[in-house]
Amino acid sequence: MSFATYFARKIAFSKDKEKSLSSTIIGIGRLSVALGVIICLLTLSIGLASKGLIRDKIENFSGPISIKSVRSNSSYNSSPLSSENFDINKIKSIPGVSGIQKFASVSGILRTKENFAGIVFRGVGKDFKPEKFDNFLVDGSCPTFTEKGYSMQILLPEKIASELKLKAKDSIVAIFSTEEKVPIYRKFEVAGIFRTDIKMIDDLYIIGDINHVRKILKMKPEEVGGYDIFLTNFEDSKKIGPTIEQNIGYKNYAEYASDKYPQVMDMFGIFNNNISLIVSLMLIVVAINIIIVFLILIIERTQSIGVLKTLGAPNSNVRKIFISYTLLIMIPGLLLGNAIAIILLIIQKFTGLVRLNPDNYYISTVPVSLNPLMIIGVSLGILVISAIAMLLPSHYITKISPAKSITYQ
């Protein structure tokens, strides 16, 4: 242990400091550090968890990239994907691509005796992953689609189910219109009810067998309306997208999640900006408070500085002593802030006490992330930034004259 660290520990944990004039300032400094830790941890934990949860919902529903026919445009009714220059095997082999899922969609109406709802029937096939929907289910179970015959089971959004007063195992009639304007009726069984909290999905989409869409739109058995591309890392969509586009042919196009769900992507930007702003402001406030505490400690112990200089201690060592001294007396504030923040996060994680309006935030309960590295990183970051912030005001120590400081009152 260096002399500077040893001396800093001795004065930081001395019994007389509690009776000194600076004790109140030290208490305020510790409180500011605790508040800074609490706000930074809550902001990072909630902000990053919210981004991750919303991203996972989009990823699990339709992936970050979808391949569609240019003839589909913005229509809900799929046009068959062109096979010309389309190489699905090359797409699967692209690094970062974790899976592919076929789909086809058609618009229609669900009808009961009392009510009706406009819907988009999103047909999926045997490559559909039921486990991706497990977190969305609020009732019932997720069916398996084999593409052998026609499965009559569907997944229904909770909002539509509520409007039509449906629950799992109930039957519902769907009406679809062909190009000849002839209505086609299908009777489905509600296998499960889901909620993603993303309005543009929950207001519209039901999930069912792709063979129904093929039959209604007169598609061939091997034709599909498109493919959802799943990635190992959602954030890599813009980087991997151009490589995917090279293998889909000129009659098809890649649609990104940022184009399908622009409001959701805007929310990502808001999260990023708010997290950066709040954390930056809190770090500045903590740094300013610690600098104030640091200067007051120097003024209070001017005589000690004079004695150290008289005994031959260089200015650099004296500066290290007081920087270490200030950081050590701030540790209780760090510990208190971490304890309070972790308790609050644990309570929210296991109780879901704080809730949100999903129409505005795309999540119904405030999520939290209890990442140990993040918790340690915030504490270390505050210590490092505080130490750097004290470098400039510590130059004041070099201006103190040993002769005058010893007689300082």
Same domain? For 179 and 303 the reply is: no
Same domain? For 152 and 117 the reply is: yes
Low-confidence ranges of the chain (pLDDT < 70): 1-22, 73-74, 301-316, 318, 396-409
Calpha distance 267→397 (Å, rounded): 48
Same domain? For 172 and 309 the reply is: no
Calpha distance 338→84 (Å, rounded): 58
What is residue 58's predicted lDDT score, i.e. its pLDDT? 86
User: Do the Cβ atoms of 405 and 302 come closer than 8 Å?
Assistant: yes
| Residue 144 DSSP symbol | -
Q: What percent of the chain has pLDDT over 90?
A: 38
Distance of CA 59 to CAs 56, 203, 226, Å? 5, 18, 16
| Residue 183 is assigned to a structural domain of this protein | yes
Calpha distance 123→206 (Å, rounded): 8
| Residue 66 is assigned to a structural domain of this protein | no
Residue that is last in its domain, among 224, 250, 276: 250
Same domain? For 193 and 102 the reply is: yes
Cβ neighbours, 10 Å, residue 325: 24
Same domain? For 393 and 281 the reply is: yes
What is residue 352's predicted lDDT score, i.e. its pLDDT? 86
User: pTM of the predicted model, to two decimals?
Assistant: 0.79
Strands (E), 233-353: 252-256
> Which parts of 82-198 fold into alpha helices (H)?
88-93, 158-163
Same domain? For 202 and 301 the reply is: no
Residue that is last in its domain, among 206, 223, 250: 250
What is residue 322's predicted lDDT score, i.e. its pLDDT? 72
pLDDT, tens digit, for every residue of 317-334?
767 777 777 777 788 889
What does the chain come to in residues? 409
Structural domain including 78 reads 71-250
Of 6, 14, 5, 34, which is closest to residue 301 (Cα–Cα)? 14
